[in-house]
Amino acid sequence: MSSRKSFIKSATLSGMGVLLGSNLMAEPNKEDKKTKPTAIRKPLVLSTWRFGIQANEAAWAILGKGGKALDAVEAGVKIPEGDPKERSVGYGGRPDRDGRVTLDACIMDELGNIGSVAALEHIKHPISVARAVMEKTPHVMLVGDGALQFALEQGFPKENLLVEDSEKEWKEWLKKSEYKPIANIENHDTIGMIALDENGNLSGACTTSGMAYKMHGRVGDSPIIGAGLYVDNEIGAATATGHGEEVIRIVGCHLVVELMRQGKNPEDACKEAVARVVNLMKVRGKNLKDIQVGFIAINKQGEHGSYCVQSGFNYAICDGKSNVLVDSAYHSKV
């Protein structure tokens, strides 16, 4: 039961100052002239959900000029992070049940450098704090007050992230106080972005405000390296969205990358990871309809793919010729 990708939005990249046509790089085999050259599709950037289109544009402004995947993914995810109308990421994100906007983010580069923040309040761009953790501390993860303290020391401004609409909705929610995240309904979502640059290096970033009305202190998969994001520069990269608890349970993105190492193509690797999620739901007697999980992946050759539990998950692919939103293949139709 798998849908095929249907192209539902296409944005041309002309006028963005990008290097068109540089995405198909033939690498001739000098040893054996008869061997067909392997086409590596690069640069390339993928990101989750519809806000991925704009995020990809910002990433492409760097990738298209031969810039680093690490810089591209940070710049890309900062677009939805900074947009007060995006209610599941950064500024404008929905709060926890105590009315506090707490953010999770992580970043990983081609060398295996990692940085992460969880339950960070008052800072609009948690991805940049995660990068600062990676580059300026002896640690890989800071949480809560410690993460905020570090961010302020680094000069990030302290801001109120709870926008009026989110506050209104939260007050309405308090009347019943029912915690019921729904698959594909935007009371949660994450921007996960993975990129392959002109030099063939991979990096990824993942950032979210998590599940709306979560318990204060709840942390999802998005800031957890191996769960919400994983990059192995020899193999590929993967990132996740959806119910973080289910992604953490299978250490999803590390699994996807390991499956690619074993020879699976990106879509099949994502499909197998989704099968593990589905199986554990079944084993635990849980209703699959209550959750969504989606993975996207790129391998070192620039092949890419995705798979999700329920239909309805989409992601944006930008290769310099186009920037399109495609529907993910899925396990069940809703």
Q: Select the span of 66-74, 94-102, 239-247, 318-326 touching ligand ASP (CB under 6 A).
A: 239-247
Burial class of residue 276, CB neighbours in 10 A (0-12, 13-18, 19+): middle
Element (H, E) at 172: helix 164-176
- Nearer to ligand ASP by Cβ, of 85 and 136: the residue is 85
In the region spanning residues 174 to 193, those forming contacts with ligand ASP, defined by CB under 6 A, are 188-190
What type of residue sits at position 136? K
DSSP of 39-51, one letter per residue? EEE-SEEEEESTT
Distance of alpha carbon 117 from alpha carbon 130, whole angstroms: 5
CB of 149 to ligand ASP, least distance (A): 23
- Nearer to ligand ASP by Cβ, of 131 and 243: the residue is 243
Strands 323-327 and 314-318: antiparallel
> How many residues at the interface with ligand ASP, by CB under 6 A?
13
- The first and second tokens of residue 3, run together, are 């849908």
Q: Looking up tokens 């290769």, which residue turns up?
A: 319
Q: Enumerate the H helices of 64-143 as residue ranges.
A: 69-81, 126-136
- Nearer to ligand ASP by Cβ, of 125 and 188: the residue is 188
- Nearer to ligand ASP by Cβ, of 152 and 288: the residue is 288
CB of 162 to ligand ASP, least distance (A): 17
In the region spanning residues 119 to 158, those forming contacts with ligand ASP, defined by CB under 6 A, are none
Q: Select the span of 30-38, 205-213, 229-237, 325-333 touching ligand ASP (CB under 6 A).
A: 205-213
CB of 296 to ligand ASP, least distance (A): 12
Degrees to nearest 5, angle at CA 83 with 80 and 86: 70
Binding mask 206-225 for ligand ASP (x = CB under 6 A): --x-xx--------xxx---
Q: Considering only residues 43, 95, 126, 242, which one is a binding residue for ligand ASP as defined by CB under 6 A?
A: 242
Degrees to nearest 5, angle at CA 236 with 130 and 259: 115
Active site residues: 190
What type of residue sits at position 234? E
Binding region for ligand ASP (CB under 6 A):
188-190, 208, 210-211, 220-222, 241-244
